[in-house]
């Protein structure tokens, strides 16, 4: 029987802040008009949407017109990649084998539909991008889009996003970044970082599921993915989910207004977890750069435990029985029998036979929870 619940799967989704829930309930109760309607209730909803757009834009140092609301990061990735090939003349995409499948599967499909060429930039043994290889690929390319994520969702590795953006500008390539794991967790001045497109999702930083946005640089030429109406300046048809958009705005505001204190707290929990795990379970290995506090997200640790293959299949089940929520990798792949494509790229066959677990933290976690998880892991190992 479970004695407690510990939620260490914040890279999959996060608990909503109370203030976000309250803001959404208020909108659902009092601002239920269709934002496309011309009467006062419709105008009231439209005002909330445009206020949200301005708020989010202000934290990224961009103009409000460059924020396009979507159902989340996957839609934002698809909007950018599909339009780039279909409408912007892109014939070559450079990405990596450790991207989220929202990017990888879209690129594969675009190759089938449009015959575009795509290349994978080399990934080093620690999961970092080989920047020299990226530059070589860019140097040999024309009409190219680069799509590389800012924070890897499984191992937490940080991309030097400004370096890549500057390289793309130098070689006249378009740069898109899946920033789903970084928006709300890292300051992003998009005047300083010349990225062309970026994807974000509210539920990764204590906002609601089902809403996110694409940053679309002014005069990009992007065309809509969904047709049927003139919402979102014609880029995204469909009646706007006003309560979700206000929830997104509230989550962005709270994330950035409290970023320094919140990030320090989560960094402390991650550091404590690494220290305790290293001490109490000899032989544990940290995948990628996830134990490097300077080069990985402060929210994520990915560990390979010294457990024989015969025992590894039961680990997540045993953790769940003890009330511990964590994951093997991306939640989007949890129903798949295949192992992590990210770890398959950086681990050898022997390491892949051992259980690798992603633990990801938030402001709602405590060091006492870390102690409990470590004790459960010790018993299992």
Q: What is the pLDDT of residues 269-280, one digit of tens each?
A: 999 999 999 999
- Greatest Cα pair distance in the chain: 66
User: How high is the pLDDT of residue 336?
Assistant: 44
Give the position of tokens 């190219």.
144
Catalytic residues: 332
User: How high is the pLDDT of residue 76?
Assistant: 98
User: How high is the pLDDT of residue 309?
Assistant: 79
User: How high is the pLDDT of residue 328?
Assistant: 83
Query: What are phi and psi for residue 350, nearest 5 degrees?
Result: -65, -45
User: How high is the pLDDT of residue 312?
Assistant: 78
User: How high is the pLDDT of residue 335?
Assistant: 43
Q: Identify which of 249, 286, 2, 4 has the alpha carbon closest to the alpha carbon of residue 125.
A: 286
Fold classification of 18-257 is 3.40.640
Q: Return the number of other C-beta atoms located less than 10 Å from residue 12's C-beta.
A: 20
- Do 244 and 24 meet the contact criterion of CB atoms below 8 Å apart? yes
User: How high is the pLDDT of residue 2?
Assistant: 52
Which residues neighbour 207 within 8 Å (Cβ) at sequence distance 6 or greater? 14, 16, 17, 20, 184, 247, 248, 250, 251, 252
pLDDT < 50 positions in the chain: 1, 333-337
Indicate the class that CATH gives domain 6-15+259-380: alpha beta
User: How high is the pLDDT of residue 3?
Assistant: 67
> What whole-number distance in Å separates Cα of residue 43 and Cα of residue 46?
5
**This prediction's pTM:** 0.95
What residues does each domain of the chain span?
Answer: 6-15+259-380, 18-257
What are 76's two structure tokens? Answer: 């934002």
Query: What are phi and psi for residue 140, nearest 5 degrees?
Result: -100, 15
From start to end of the chain, where are the E strands? 6-7, 67-70, 92-95, 117-120, 144-147, 174-178, 197-201, 212-216, 285-286, 300-304, 324-325, 356-360
SS3 22: helix
User: How high is the pLDDT of residue 311?
Assistant: 79
User: How high is the pLDDT of residue 1?
Assistant: 46
Q: Identify which of 369, 358, 380 has the alpha carbon closest to the alpha carbon of residue 303.
A: 358
Integer Rg of the chain from CA: 21
């Amino acid at each position: 029987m479970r004695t407690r619940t510990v939620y260490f799967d914040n890279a999959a989704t996060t608990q909503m802040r109370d203030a976000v829930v309250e803001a959404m309930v208020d909108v659902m109760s009092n601002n239920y008009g269709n934002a496309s309607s011309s009467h006062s209730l419709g105008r009231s909803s439209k005002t909330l949407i445009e206020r949200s757009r301005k708020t989010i834009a202000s934290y990224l140092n961009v103009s409000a017109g460059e924020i396009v609301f979507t159902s989340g990061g996957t839609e934002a990735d698809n909007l950018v990649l599909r339009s780039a090939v279909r409408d912007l003349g892109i014939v070559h995409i450079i990405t990596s084998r450790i991207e989220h499948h929202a990017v990888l599967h879209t690129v594969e499909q675009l190759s089938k539909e449009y015959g575009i060429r795509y290349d994978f930039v080399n990934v080093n043994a620690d999961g970092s991008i080989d920047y020299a290889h990226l530059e070589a690929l860019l140097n040999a390319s024309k009409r190219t889009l680069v799509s590389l994520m800012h924070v890897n969702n499984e191992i937490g590795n940080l991309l030097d996003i400004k370096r890549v953006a500057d390289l793309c500008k130098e070689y006249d390539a378009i740069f898109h970044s899946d920033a789903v794991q970084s928006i709300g967790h890292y300051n992003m001045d998009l005047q300083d970082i010349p990225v062309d497109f970026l994807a974000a999702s509210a539920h990764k930083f204590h906002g609601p599921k089902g809403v996110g946005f694409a940053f679309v640089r002014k005069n990009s030429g992007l065309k809509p993915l969904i047709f049927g109406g003139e919402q979102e300046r014609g880029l995204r048809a469909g009646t706007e989910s006003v309560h979700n958009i206000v929830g997104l705005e509230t989550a962005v505001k709270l994330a950035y207004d409290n970023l320094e204190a919140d990030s320090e707290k989560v960094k402390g929990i991650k550091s404590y977890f690494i220290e305790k795990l290293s001490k109490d379970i000899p032989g544990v290995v940290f995948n990628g750069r996830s134990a490097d506090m300077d080069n990985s997200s402060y929210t994520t640790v990915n560990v390979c435990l010294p457990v024989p293959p015969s025992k590894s299949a039961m680990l997540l089940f045993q953790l769940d029985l003890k009330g511990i929520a964590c994951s093997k990798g991306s939640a989007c792949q949890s129903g798949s029998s295949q192992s992590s494509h990210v770890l398959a790229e950086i681990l050898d066959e022997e390491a892949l036979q051992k259980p690798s677990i992603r633990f990801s933290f938030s402001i709602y976690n405590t060091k006492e929870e870390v102690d409990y998880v470590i004790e459960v892991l010790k018993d299992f190992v």
